[in-house]
Amino acid sequence: MGADDTRGFVSLDELIRPRTAAAIVAEPDGCGCAPATADEAAGCCAAPEAAPAGQGPVPVETHVKKRYDALAVQGTSTLCCSPTSVYTPEELAEIPDWVLELSSGCGSPMNAIGLRPGQTVVDFGCGAGLDLLIAARRVGETGRVIGVDASMQMVRTARRAAKEMGLKNIDVRVGDIRRPPVREASVDVVMSNCVLGMFPDKKEVLHAVAAVLRPGGVAVISDVVYSDDGPPPADVAAGESAGAEDFARCVVGMTESQYRDLVLGAGFGSVEMRSDGLVPYRDGAQVTSAMIFAYRDDSPAQPCC
Ligand SMILES: C[S@@+](CC[C@H](N)C(=O)[O-])C[C@H]1O[C@@H](n2cnc3c(N)ncnc32)[C@H](O)[C@@H]1O
pLDDT in tens, 144-197: 999 999 999 999 999 999 999 999 999 999 999 999 999 999 999 999 999 998
Residue 29's pLDDT is: 30
Q: What CA–CA distance (Å, rounded) separates 211 from 206?
A: 9
Nearest atom in ligand 1 to the alpha carbon of residue 67 is: 25
CA 1 / ligand 1 centre spacing (Å): 31
CA 149 / ligand 1 centre spacing (Å): 6
CA 3 / ligand 1 centre spacing (Å): 34
pLDDT in tens, 56-76: 567 788 888 888 999 898 888
> What angle is formed at CA 17 by the lines to CA 13 and CA 19, rounded to 5 degrees?
145
Residue range 48-53: mean pLDDT, rounded = 45
Residue range 294-299: mean pLDDT, rounded = 85
- The dihedrals phi and psi of 121, each to the nearest 5 degrees, come to -125, 140
Indicate which residue's Cα is closest to atom 11 of ligand 1.
Answer: 125
pLDDT in tens, 255-286: 888 888 999 899 899 999 988 888 888 888 88
Give CB contacts under 8 A, 24+ apart, made by 158-161. Answer: 158/126, 158/127, 158/128, 158/129, 158/132, 159/129, 161/95, 161/96, 161/98, 161/99, 161/128, 161/129, 161/132, 161/133
Between 95 and 243, name the one with better pLDDT.
Answer: 95
Nearest atom in ligand 1 to the alpha carbon of residue 148 is: 21
Nearest atom in ligand 1 to the alpha carbon of residue 250 is: 1
CA 273 / ligand 1 centre spacing (Å): 21
Out of 45, 78, 87, 104, mutate this one to test ligand 1's pocket (max ligand atoms within 8 Å of CB): namely 104
Domain boundaries of the chain, sorted by first residue: 1-305
- List the CATH code of the domain at 1-305: 3.40.50.150
Nearest atom in ligand 1 to the alpha carbon of residue 176 is: 20
Indicate which residue's Cα is closest to atom 8 of ligand 1.
Answer: 105
Nearest atom in ligand 1 to the alpha carbon of residue 131 is: 8
CA 275 / ligand 1 centre spacing (Å): 21
CA 64 / ligand 1 centre spacing (Å): 8
Nearest atom in ligand 1 to the alpha carbon of residue 80 is: 1
Q: Which residues pair with 46 in a beta bridge?
A: none
* Residue 17 pLDDT class (50, 70, 90 cuts): very low
* Residue 45 pLDDT class (50, 70, 90 cuts): very low
Q: What CA–CA distance (Å, rounded) separates 102 from 173?
A: 18
Between 59 and 216, name the one with better pLDDT.
Answer: 216
Nearest atom in ligand 1 to the alpha carbon of residue 79 is: 1
Q: Which residues form the pocket of ligand 1, taking CB atoms under 6 Å from any ligand atom?
A: 47, 61, 64-65, 68, 79-80, 103-105, 125-128, 130-131, 148-151, 154, 176-178, 193-195, 198, 250
Between 295 and 3, name the one with better pLDDT.
Answer: 295
Out of 68, 106, 157, 212, mutate this one to test ligand 1's pocket (max ligand atoms within 8 Å of CB): namely 68
